[in-house]
Amino acid sequence: MDKVYLTWWQVDRAIFALADELRKNFMPDVIVGVARGGLIPAVRLSHILGDLEVKVIDVKFYKDIDERMEKPVVTIPLHGSLEGKKVVIVDDVSDTGKTLEVVTEEVKKAGASEVKIACLSMKPWTKVVPDFYVFRTDKWIVFPWEEFPVVVRE
């Protein structure tokens, strides 16, 4: 599969675009960040939107690029109640959409009154189109936090 490499600068601009959309259309009480890919955008959004509470959920679905397990499994469940809260779920990308389906279910079970999804990106074939997203691609996205310079020390 072709890959597209994003820089920190491109990702930060995308996060600011999401923040603008959220501010205008759906100011959440709580952000649920999907580990691992959604965590950096979730924390960044929390700071930009005024120190919003961030909760974490971890769902495992991929073993490797394009190698999926049968269905997503919640490995870190949501902690505490979301009773009556407006919640935005934040992830890096909606690919099949199955992860976001599971996370949405969990957020509703925790009592959220309203739930929206914000992602940096989506694939054209996803079955969960995020309420807010910045770009579409059919390539495998490599985010800047997935890459690191090789430092050789003597």
- What does the chain come to in residues? 154
Site string for ligand 5GP, 38-77 (x = CB under 6 A): -----------------------xx---------x-----
Q: 66 or 83: whose CB is closer to ligand 5GP?
A: 66
CB of 83 to ligand 5GP, least distance (A): 26
Give the CA-trace dihedral at 30, 36, 37, 42, to 10 degrees.
20
Dist CA 125 CA 112 (whole Å): 27
Please say whether the beta carbons of 100 and 117 come within 8 A.
yes
The vertex-87 CA angle with 85 and 90, nearest 5°, equals 160
The CA distance from 97 to 78, in Å, is 19
CB of 21 to ligand 5GP, least distance (A): 19
Residue 3 CB, nearest approach to ligand 5GP (Å) = 8
Residue 142, token pair as written in the block: 């490599």
Where does this chain touch ligand 5GP (CB under 6 A) — which range of 23-31, 43-51, 78-86, 137-145?
137-145
Q: How many residues lie near ligand 5GP (CB under 6 A)?
A: 18
Query: Least separation, in Å, of the C-beta of 102 and ligand 5GP?
Result: 8
